[in-house]
Structure 1
Amino acid sequence: MGKKQIGLICLTAVMMGSILAGCSGNNGNTANSGNTTASNEPGVATEEKVDKVSFSYFNAAAGKDVNTNETTIGKIYEEQTGVNWKMEHLVGDENTKIGTFIASNDFPDVIVPGETIDKLVDAGAFIPLNDLIEEHGQNIKRVYEPYFNLMKDENGNINFLPFSANVGEFMPEPNITQGAFWIQRRVLKEAGYPTIKTYDQYLNLIRDYVAKHPDEDLTGYLALTSQDQFFAFTNPPMHLAGYPNDGGTIIDMETHQAMDYGDDVNSTKRYLQELNKLNDEGIFDKSSFVDTKDQYIAKLASGKVLGFFDYKWQAADGMNSLREAAVASGNHDLDYMALPIVFDENIKDQYIDPPSFVSNRGIGITVSAKDPVRIIQFFDNLLTDENQVLNQWGIKGETFEVNEEGRFHRTEEQIVKANEKAFQQSFGFTYFNYSWPMYGGGSSFPDGNSVGPGTQPEVAQMSYTEGDKELLEAYNIESFSQLFSTPDERPWYPAWSIPIPQGSEAQVFEQKRNDLQRKYFPQLVLAAPADFEKVWTEYYTEFNKLDVKALEDVISAGVAKKVEILAGQ
């Protein structure tokens, strides 16, 4: 994937602690569009002033509503630009909420949609950003220009800004923050820290532990299947087969053809049949198919669940509760470890994401926006090095430090503080480290520091507890991601970001497939083992009545387009 080096924009000022204000002459930084014009001295304003303004921001994800100027980061941005955001988050069903906006033709100033983004684009809810970017988006152009051809619709319009673009040299994460099969450390400890690679080995390890502890009311394996998170249950087959998260399809590395694996007997059927056996043995939690996400998180936090598959960012609340308890007690037996589980020994795991660009999610300015120019200027102001430091690292001397070599790091106290939910909310990390235009995961600054603290080796090492170090030593690794294979280059990644036209045969297939899997997958897991083949045949027959080729053709074409565009950078 093409890499774009970012210019050195006042990074020296960041090192000197001037993160509280924009730098002068910073590649089109629009600090003069806000409350005051930034000066060369941090926190000192010129006489030129503009009115403060509040814009409305709707995020189609759950969260706590807030005025951003009530947070530390948001207050700094208000000082830089004069802009405050009234952030509203989704309550209830996304389609219903977005449908109400569309029906009334009355929208918040900006919207961060989820799966309804195509509905908003088709309804003309977003204004094209091309001219605004050209006139007011110097930093936007610097960060996103290599991807403009992926961002444009069939009319050449850029309707929204994706959340992240790769900037600088790619830096892999030292710890696992995406998908994995997770297992409690006590299971590994009791077994003598064995090397676990295959699905059978993983499940047998859980079986053995449950058998040895019959009176502890343990859950051997738990799954997340709630409506919006059902992919956490359908995605494991592709990971077990040695592919990354490309969504409902796997992409052939040579031909670049997409294949929907929903009816694949070597991956999906094999995965479900093993869960069927677990259920018959009383080791699978049947409530997985009726629990809400909150109930799922509570079960993880209880310390009774031995293993599960999920993406770290989705299960984090439950896992973090256990980790906080472990840090307090010094006993990490109930904490989890990520394992790169595959079907067979000869399969190379691909859990770690390669460099990627997600073009079908982002933030858009709506037709109801009161001042699109000022909004795009705010977005552009976010995309300076110093403000990306602010969003991800915070303030020097408060939430991070800089050593004599210019390396960013955090003290133990700062690491603990930065992981506290209440502090993340009050400081603004909760609201600004995603769902805005930003440097993407794995990006780096010109001086070699990681944009994200999670990918900075110094922070990872400082974050490790004595329990972590014991585990790392047992497996002879320096970081947890070293158990996982280096990702192969996939210029199209992730394929799930390739747009599926609304109302197309591909979109109809996708919806029918999802409905079919929600109907049959619980039956396949909960059926008596003697009935599994019968239920699979029913599902397989119904699946193959659907027009799977329609989706595969769209994804294959999208993959080819991304490969061609990025190869030309």
Structure 2
Amino acid sequence: MFGRKVLIAGMAVLLMAALAGCSGGSSSSSSEASPSGGDDNSPVTYTYFTFGAPKKDVLASETTIGKELFEQTGVDWKMEYLVGDAPTKAGVMIASGDYPDIIDSSGEMAKLMDAGAFIPLDDLIEKYGPNIKRVYGPYMDKFRQDDGKIYFFPYGANIGYISEPNFQTGFYIQRSVLKEFNYPKITTLDEYFDLIKQYKDKYPQVDGKETIGFATLAGEPSNFFTLQNPAMHLAGYPNDGSVMVDLETHEANLVAGSEYQKRWIQKLNEVNAEGMLDPESFTMNRDQYLAKLTSGRVLGYFSYSWQVGDATNNLKKAGIDDKRYVALPIVFDKGIKDQYIDPPGFVNNYGVGITVKAKDPVRIIKYFDNLLKEENQILVQWGIKDESYSVDENGRFYYKDDEQRKIHEDPELSRKYGFDYFNYSWPRYGNNSVLADGNAYGPGNQPEVATFTYTDGDKKLLEEYGVKTFAELFSKPDERPWSPAWSIALEQGSPEQMFITKADDLQKKYLPKLIMDPPSSFDNTWNEYMGEFNKLDKKTYEDTITKAVKDRVSGKW
């Protein structure tokens, strides 16, 4: 998993935590109160840092949800979000030893684990975590480390399963394009770009500015996968990260350097030569990307729904359905089954952990346990009854009016309420969970909510394609017991970890050049890229991931 360096550091930290009530310990907490052992609700403020999606820093109690949790526990959080490059920030933390009380690690977990940044949680869970055991119990062996201990909580353990009726991930296209051509059924990459080209030729400008055929979020290193991942989806594979896993043999093969990657990148090269690719695709940041999507100038893009939530909600708020987007399950060729919808899975390589600088681990673990009470899992997803959701005579959760819906969907209202801060990067139920009373854990999976939030434009589009929900545009996923392969942990400094770092660096160097160069240069540049790529130890990496996949299939995690 993450290596065995954590064992000695972890044991030492556990001992310090046990003695904290006597010694006072050290902490990055803003509170000067002595450790309580978790037995009182006196006000205290701890620090939370996330390497996840950037947001505005906030004091948790300034949100509706955070205030409610503060009133229950006396615990508040100074919530801080990544600015700049994640690996650099993690390196600075590790070098200085200056950690917040808890860290949401995102992609930096392996580095933080090897540095001994987190304390082991097993004894704390056993003493103070009945709800933690209820939620994570069936999954705990899947995220124990090499020393047999637990150091963090992954983002969600599914309790039951319900699919997302409004699934939206893949190749997005502006609805005006579909409307213009009488809602054609397009399934292949060529059909997708042909339709966009026809529309752009017909409408070269939007509000006096040039229409953008296709844009991609490849200007930020942390979002470069938006350019890498489409190749696997186009070939009929789900998001398994850097590999495509054969359903029958369970062999893992790299996306990078494959014929699928070449076909995808060469298509973008053609698109760029035709003047359809946004020239700022490799320089703009996330905010600039979202602003372009909201402007109505972009006809198509590839993204995962969580990357573009603000743009999606702002466009819906503006009420101009034709300028909104719909995601389509685009593949290379007819006959390929799309695999955009992920099967049920479990992510075990990142999450939220308590650091070695936390003053009062007991009180923090009690906060986590309280958060995992079902009533509080309802709070962080649905909010407060009769305020942000209602309950009908059959006990079903729904939105009774647009005011309740807006609290969830309007970006500013969602942030103010706390949904944007509490509904993901904490110990939590899995996205597809079902509550004890049969309601969906998340509003997005509740059928009553899905249909309520449809605009006239939504209903028209769905009617034209003969479906009732957006998820019905996509194929149902095949079962994949290893899912997702991108959660397979690589030990820091291992040959496999060094390979994928070098492979990513090569792609960041060559893929933009391959796309932006004249088509006549493509083959030469591709051969140069592959010459460099083939110097790397591809086989060791693929063999390692294949073995991990086969272990998961046989029940070993």
State TM-score, norm by structure 2.
Answer: 0.90
User: What is the RMSD of the two structures over their aligned residues, measured on CA atoms?
Assistant: 1.7
For 1:314-338, what per-residue CA distance to the aligned partner results, in whole angstroms no more than 9, with x for missing partners? Answer: 122223222221x2xxx41111011
Q: Match for 1:277: what amino acid?
A: E
Structure 2 matches for 1:199-210, cutoff 5 A?
A: 199-210=189-200
The counterpart of 1:503, out of the listed 493, 501, 509, is 493
The counterpart of 1:355, out of the listed 327, 344, 359, is 344
- Checking the alignment, whether the CA contact within 8 Å between 1:150 and 1:562 is kept in structure 2 is no
Q: Match for 1:563: what amino acid?
A: V
Shift of 1:65: 1.6
Percent identity of equivalent pairs: 52
Shift of 1:115: 2.1
For 1:88-145, what per-residue CA distance to the aligned partner results, in whole angstroms no more than 9, with x for missing partners? Answer: 1122222232223222223211111232211111111100111111111111111112
- Checking the alignment, whether the CA contact within 8 Å between 2:47 and 2:77 is kept in structure 1 is yes
Structure 2 matches for 1:183-198, cutoff 5 A?
A: 183-198=173-188
1:379 counterpart residue number: 368
2:202 counterpart residue number: 212
Mapped pair 1:68 → 2:57 = no
Mapped pair 1:486 → 2:476 = yes
Structure 2 matches for 1:504-519, cutoff 5 A?
A: 504-519=494-509
Structure 1 residues 462-471 or 212-221, which shifts more? 212-221
The counterpart of 1:315, out of the listed 292, 298, 308, is 308
- Checking the alignment, whether the CA contact within 8 Å between 1:180 and 1:310 is kept in structure 2 is yes
Shift of 1:312: 1.3
1:173 counterpart residue number: 164
The 1-side partners of 2:41 and 2:433 are apart by 34
The counterpart of 2:100, out of the listed 86, 93, 108, is 108
- Checking the alignment, whether the CA contact within 8 Å between 2:173 and 2:300 is kept in structure 1 is yes
Structure 1 residues 556-565 or 296-305, which shifts more? 556-565
- Checking the alignment, whether the CA contact within 8 Å between 2:407 and 2:417 is kept in structure 1 is no
The 2-side partners of 1:454 and 1:180 are apart by 18
The counterpart of 1:54, out of the listed 45, 48, 70, is 45
- Identify unmatched segments of 5+ residues in structure 2: 1-34
1:273 counterpart residue number: 266
For 1:203-258, what per-residue CA distance to the aligned partner results, in whole angstroms no more than 9, with x for missing partners? Answer: 11111111222354211111110211000000000000011110010111112121
1:461 counterpart residue number: 451
The counterpart of 1:252, out of the listed 246, 251, 259, is 246
2:71 counterpart residue number: 79
The counterpart of 2:410, out of the listed 420, 433, 437, is 420
Mapped pair 1:231 → 2:253 = no
- Checking the alignment, whether the CA contact within 8 Å between 1:357 and 1:494 is kept in structure 2 is yes
How many positions carry a matched residue from both structures?
516
Give the match's secondary structure for 1:317: helix
Structure 2 matches for 1:40-51, cutoff 5 A?
A: 50-51=41-42
Shift of 1:274: 1.0
Structure 2 matches for 1:426-465, cutoff 5 A?
A: 426-465=416-455
2:295 counterpart residue number: 302
Give the match's secondary structure for 1:102: helix
- Checking the alignment, whether the CA contact within 8 Å between 1:219 and 1:284 is kept in structure 2 is yes
Q: Match for 1:240: what amino acid?
A: L
Runs of 4+ in 1 over 4 A off after TM superposition: none
For 1:385-424, what per-residue CA distance to the aligned partner results, in whole angstroms no more than 9, with x for missing partners? Answer: 1111001000110010111111110123211232122222
- Checking the alignment, whether the CA contact within 8 Å between 2:212 and 2:299 is kept in structure 1 is yes
Structure 1 residues 380-389 or 68-77, which shifts more? 68-77
For 1:263-305, what per-residue CA distance to the aligned partner results, in whole angstroms no more than 9, with x for missing partners? Answer: 111x111111111111111111122112222221111111011
Give the match's secondary structure for 2:555: helix
- Checking the alignment, whether the CA contact within 8 Å between 1:362 and 1:436 is kept in structure 2 is yes
Mapped pair 1:561 → 2:557 = no
Give the match's secondary structure for 2:100: coil
Shift of 1:566: 6.9
Q: Match for 2:370: what amino acid?
A: N
The 2-side partners of 1:50 and 1:476 are apart by 55
1:125 counterpart residue number: 117
2:141 counterpart residue number: 149
- Identify unmatched segments of 5+ residues in structure 1: 1-33, 38-47
Give the match's secondary structure for 1:165: coil
Shift of 1:525: 0.9
The 1-side partners of 2:286 and 2:80 are apart by 21
- Checking the alignment, whether the CA contact within 8 Å between 1:491 and 1:566 is kept in structure 2 is no
Q: Match for 1:400: what amino acid?
A: Y
Shift of 1:49: 5.6
The counterpart of 2:540, out of the listed 550, 557, 568, is 550
- Checking the alignment, whether the CA contact within 8 Å between 2:313 and 2:411 is kept in structure 1 is no
Q: Match for 1:376: what amino acid?
A: I
Structure 2 matches for 1:16-35, cutoff 5 A?
A: none
For 1:356-413, what per-residue CA distance to the aligned partner results, in whole angstroms no more than 9, with x for missing partners? Answer: 1111110000111111111111111111111110010001100101111111101232
The 2-side partners of 1:212 and 1:426 are apart by 42
The 2-side partners of 1:214 and 1:57 are apart by 47
1:345 counterpart residue number: 334
The 2-side partners of 1:484 and 1:411 are apart by 29
The 2-side partners of 1:256 and 1:377 are apart by 41
Give the match's secondary structure for 1:284: coil
Q: Match for 1:73: what amino acid?
A: I
The 1-side partners of 2:41 and 2:213 are apart by 60
- Checking the alignment, whether the CA contact within 8 Å between 1:412 and 1:463 is kept in structure 2 is no
Shift of 1:56: 1.3
Give the match's secondary structure for 1:306: strand
Distance 1:232 1:378, change over 3 A: same
Give the match's secondary structure for 2:322: coil
Q: Match for 1:51: what amino acid?
A: S
Shift of 1:461: 0.2
Structure 1 residues 218-227 or 58-67, which shifts more? 58-67
The 2-side partners of 1:68 and 1:104 are apart by 26
Q: Match for 1:348: what amino acid?
A: K
For 1:402-453, what per-residue CA distance to the aligned partner results, in whole angstroms no more than 9, with x for missing partners? Answer: 1111111012321123212222222211111011000011111122110000
